[in-house]
Structure 1
């Protein structure tokens, strides 16, 4: 539980609803969704594509069905999926390599080889939020999407277009990068000890906040970085007694108030104006970005164990996706009418 005041809303912003009841092909390592499709990466290197399809029985809800399955060439676990709807591309991180595939068909992009020796990477969040074109004239060239690839001792800058991947330059960086997020000219990178801000225009870097403030606690703490706005990040820091969530600009200035959790979250997602976190006991807490208060708590299932009955993570899907709803079918259900003959 969090120590923040709980200010519930009349209509809770979220509810839990199963999308895919069971995936028996492999163990899930990551997932993403867009529109009417869900993409699942597995620990055995398989990539699964599910699509929302109507049932033959009009009385039943639409459901997600397996449309295709394929394996990456290396057969290693898929660590991350990043969807770029604007370019109809998906970036797949596996075995320290970034692979480039098309959306929604999941075909390898011709003439773009994987980027190797990757520690972590970050696509410019502002570019990720570009909407997919409703219609695309092939003669009209789309803007490129910028990304940073953090390698062992450097940050490599690239621009991705529909046809090619263009290398720009490198910025020296210390080893040990674990996580990175980018918005515009600012890159936030977590190494083994600190969150660091890198100004990509000036190539200047400075440490900002320790990931673990408890000097006597050797337990590894998972870093979390979330882009909140064009110039703002949310970073989580463990104090030894609780975890603090700090809102900090790309220039290193704290803004807003502070979030707090009595245990270190397993996942953190932004769906503005809400911050959603999964805690180790399986509880899901939703905070307001604006007031920092808790507005909803989703309890762990009663039959769950300490692991939260399989709740291993939360994923934010920036482009949005479709969820089957019973409301429409209930409103459209058959009703007998009696007509009076005259």
Structure 2
């Protein structure tokens, strides 16, 4: 159906004998809803009463005929105007204005006819000071002037005459301004000052000359070149002219439209964009009259009503015809004529309707933006999807009326799954966009339930997990069966967790980890359980699943205690009591206490050392054994808090000689420790390293003492001579050659220890030379500071020829001299006498 701005209704048909048709034809009409008055060619005034009910389908309206009054035997009724303030009907007939009662059509007593009138018009906008009267403008039929009348209940008086240079052919009034059309031009007259202003010429015939009041101080004129000209009462144009056809008989205004009448057709133009919007065929049309909601058009026998279609319906029709720009332009044009709230709601409705046009054309990006801008209830979109309707609450009622939508999603859902998949993707984009916004918060449960069901349908594990893991409003009674049906148990556990059902959440994940269910969406369910338990504030839940977690994997499971936030840790003794059954977990937890929490409790350090020993005795892989032994040795060297005797008994019984030596060293028995390393462990390198490590951070002399002790142990046994030689060769800088020579057996040759001797002597010489160099550098540095001091003191000395030394009285001939505190100069070698 084509766009219609006005609905046409046939409201009256004049019945008369065939011979009288021409004599009784309609010449003019007037209206004051629901009263319509017609003036005929045979000087008759007919009163019609319109019915409020109209059969729009048939285009007919029931009209009741009221009274009729015959004014005379001849001459047509030229004009009719209603003055509802006084219930007057003013009739121009036979060049005279007669006042009739608008109900009885009887003449009004006291209002005599106004003679010699060719045109008249009633001024609707009267000054507030004259609220009890109405102004009327008449054009004289015998003189070139217009008169201003004040109309009262029972009298009318002429208050002013305004002379004109031309005879008026048509006129319209707005306040104090009268727009007059003459035979060849248009002009404006101020009825207060009597001044006039010419506008522009025209070349229209008498029947095509007209002036229409647009309102708000604006007139519409039939200008030259078939242009409808809008002129303000100030004489300026604020709108572009309207191009209309030739031979326009009349024009009416019903905002935001201009209606022009030709003999066979009525055309509707928009004041917003000056474009033609509708045409109505009307054979034999003679004139039109603007009413509050449209126009009345009459022919010789018929009267038609064209009522303005509500703006909302017009806009909806434009959107349905995909004329979105026109719809928005129309709404923008009427913005100033409707309440702000109404305008906003209408704008939202248009925007949403435009969104649906794009939606059914698969223009999803545009549709989403328009739905959001129009603040469309997300439930309206959810309601369109057959398998999503269960997400809506029972009390939801759709406000959309779309019987003729371009695509039926029900059909797509059943048949074209590929296309329907695109619509599902759009639903996800739209719901994600509104989730968390004011629009989405109004129906957050429906939005979240629909998103969950959608992600399950699309197999979108990432978005599904993100939805259920964060705070959400999913209804468990709806979403739990959906997830169970599609075996999305990992997401089900996350949903339980986000709703505070922690026990149910972890039980669900445990079933997956134990292999009772399969869910490929998460590859490490056990790790997720551990991470969840390590962050839980509900410690009862952690204790409930702690045994299962540790039995599954001690190394990972212990993290439920280790990875907890610093302010939410368990009591250490409670954890240690639990871990008695899990040695590896116990060892890792003790490491956490000592190295991360810096525990200084002796029992923790003792237990960790003993745990390392136990672990070493149970390990079969060489690599694991070395790693654990390294940790034990590090603990024994660095910790100051374990009890040496307690650990020593366990280490000694385990035949861990290196560790035994460390413990003996910590007890101060270095000689015994070195003997263990040399005689029982047989590791000479370890013995030498022990000396360095034991002396680390202590008196440097201790290292020399320990190495000397080790050398003596080597020398005490003939079998260890090579070890003694190696020790000397490795440490020539530590041992003093003269001391070592006295310790060596007499049987050793110089050649055997030559490397050591060369190295030792070289070091001795090097040290002596370095001492001299350091002394010389110190003296140079002292001299430099003296020079700087002299320069800084800025002291000058004058040495004249023949200057005598203060001490020996001989001439000062050398460049070097000395100045004492009194300023006396002397030879440098004479200073000894002064000092003595």
Asked if these proteins are the same fold (TM beyond 0.5), I'd say yes
> Which residue in 2 is equivalent to 1:5?
none
1:17 corresponds to 2:9: yes
Q: What SS is found at the alignment partner of 1:256?
A: coil
The answer to whether the 8 Å contact 1:87/1:142 transfers is: no
Instruction: Show the 5 A alignment for 1:199-210.
Output: 199-210=190-201
Counterparts in 2 of 1:320 and 1:104: CA distance versus 1, 3 Å: farther
Q: Deviations over 1:162-218 (max 9, x none)?
A: 1211221212122421111111111111111111111122211122121228xxxxx
Q: Deviations over 1:296-329 (max 9, x none)?
A: 222x2xxxxxxx5232222223488997x9xxxx
> Which residue in 1 is equivalent to 2:119?
120
The answer to whether the 8 Å contact 1:155/1:170 transfers is: yes
Higher helix share: 2
> Which residue in 2 is equivalent to 1:312?
286
| Alpha-carbon RMSD | 3.1
The answer to whether the 8 Å contact 1:33/1:321 transfers is: no
Counterparts in 2 of 1:77 and 1:36: CA distance versus 1, 3 Å: same
The answer to whether the 8 Å contact 1:238/1:264 transfers is: no
> Which residue in 2 is equivalent to 1:259?
242
> Which residue in 1 is equivalent to 2:276?
294
1:178 corresponds to 2:151: no
Give the TM-score of the pair, scaled to structure 1: 0.75
> Which residue in 1 is equivalent to 2:696?
none
Counterparts in 2 of 1:315 and 1:253: CA distance versus 1, 3 Å: same
Instruction: Show the 5 A alignment for 1:165-314.
Output: 165-212=156-203, 222-239=208-225, 243-280=226-263, 282-298=264-280, 300=281, 308-314=282-288
> Which residue in 2 is equivalent to 1:79?
78
> Which residue in 2 is equivalent to 1:137?
none
What displacement does 1:283 show?
Answer: 2.0
Q: What SS is found at the alignment partner of 2:238?
A: strand
Number of residue-to-residue matches in the alignment: 285
Q: What SS is found at the alignment partner of 2:125?
A: helix
The answer to whether the 8 Å contact 2:99/2:108 transfers is: yes
Counterparts in 2 of 1:46 and 1:278: CA distance versus 1, 3 Å: same
Q: What SS is found at the alignment partner of 1:106?
A: coil
The answer to whether the 8 Å contact 1:36/1:321 transfers is: no
> Which residue in 1 is equivalent to 2:138?
149
List 4+ stretches of structure 1 deviating above 6 A. Answer: 319-323
1:105 corresponds to 2:104: yes
What displacement does 1:122 show?
Answer: 2.0
Q: What SS is found at the alignment partner of 2:115?
A: coil
Counterparts in 2 of 1:11 and 1:190: CA distance versus 1, 3 Å: same
What displacement does 1:47 show?
Answer: 1.0
Query: 5+ unaligned residues in a row in structure 1: which ranges?
Result: 1-8, 131-140, 214-218, 301-307, 326-342
Which one scores higher on RCO, CA 8 angstroms, separation ≥ 6? 1
The answer to whether the 8 Å contact 2:229/2:242 transfers is: yes
Higher strand share: 1
The answer to whether the 8 Å contact 1:34/1:319 transfers is: no
Q: For residues 266 and 51 of structure 2, what CA distance do their matches in structure 1 show?
A: 29
Larger Rg: 2
Q: For residues 51 and 256 of structure 2, what CA distance do their matches in structure 1 show?
A: 31
The answer to whether the 8 Å contact 2:36/2:48 transfers is: yes
